[in-house]
Structure 1
């Protein structure tokens, strides 16, 4: 009898444990499903918010006014054109621009001058050969400046062998100065402006050229202002 009852009791226990396990699985499954549903809802909400933000940003970009680059013309009526091989004339030109509120244009040679090119003690240096040849016209790199909108043009250069460098002749012969006031200025250690300004005026063939002035590299803006005030 005991042999019959014991297997029955064991079977009942196994069934009970299985039922409990199934019950636990059944009770945890809805919770897991709910958690997954909640996560999906949160993800959907975040996606919708992100999409809305992207749409708003896109609308803002479309409604913001476009920013355009400033045109090449500044509206100034004064321009300072200069050639500077060592930087001295450039510094003076920048001070004149600061005083006059004018535009700056640098004449850049197509073939830059080296220290050896500027050796005035060498009869075979490039600059010596150019200055000994009145017809020499060194090329200018990308000479695209237009003087049409300017009424006053300052022309600056260093003094080489008592005159303006030949590249200045290249420039003035390539542009019209009709109806413009042209003011030459130069830099040098001791040499005066001499006839360099009048020589350029003759080569230009147009414009009202004023007497020029020689400056040292240390000239101040106040000194430049006094010079400009005295121009006739």
Structure 2
């Protein structure tokens, strides 16, 4: 699919702070998904939106995983801090997120339910520590049945900072770079 002449938005959820990387907890000044989102933006020149919940997640990694699991179980839709004013102007949405409990964090669900994606192309990308995209692509397709959901890119969080070649190759396959 050639997406080169399409207007694109990179919408991503990313969490900085203590994170699980290579079987240990480390403090990340920039979340892994944001690192990958910026790589996509470098190549595409797309607009960017950081999906953020009004109520911040705990700084502690373990506490965050517990909150995330509770939100998933309760099917919570956290309120978001910012919104896209002109979603109709975008043809392609690069949707980025870390894999939390086999899918997207719940603020990403809120984002997807906030807009009409009919006729748009959604291109998922995620960072993870071994679980890939999980069932997030199926969840996106279920939430946005009138959108085209392309095959996503899963980047191991440990290698997010060095994923530029993988990102470029992925974008090449879509006719973007």
Which of 162, 165, 169 is matched with 1:222 structurally? 165
1:124-143 equivalences under 5 Å are: 125-133=66-74, 135-143=75-83
- Is 1:151 the equivalent of 2:81? no
Is the Cα contact below 8 Å between 1:83 and 1:107 reproduced in 2?
yes
SS in 1 for 2:161: coil
CA distance in 2, matches of 1:163, 1:177: 19
Structure with the higher helix share, 1 or 2 = 1
1:160 equivalent in structure 2: 100
TM-score normalised by the chain length of structure 2: 0.78
Structure with the higher strand share, 1 or 2 = 2
CA distance in 2, matches of 1:137, 1:121: 16
The count of corresponding residues between Structure 1 and Structure 2 is 154
Superposition misfits of 4+ residues, deviation over 3 angstroms: none
CA deviation map 1:42-96 (0-9, x unaligned):
xxxxxxxxxxxxxxxxxxxxxxxxxxxxxxxxxx711100000121111100100
Structure ID, larger Rg: 1
- Is 1:112 the equivalent of 2:56? yes
1:102 equivalent in structure 2: 46
* Cα offset, 1:218, TM superposition: 2.5
**Quick one: higher RCO (CA 8 Å, sep 6+), 1 or 2?**
2
Gaps of 5+ in 2: 1-5, 17-30
2:117 equivalent in structure 1: 177
CA distance in 1, matches of 2:125, 2:76: 21
* Cα offset, 1:143, TM superposition: 2.1
CA RMSD in angstroms comes to 2.2
TM-score normalised by the chain length of structure 1: 0.61
CA distance in 1, matches of 2:9, 2:86: 10
* Cα offset, 1:177, TM superposition: 1.2
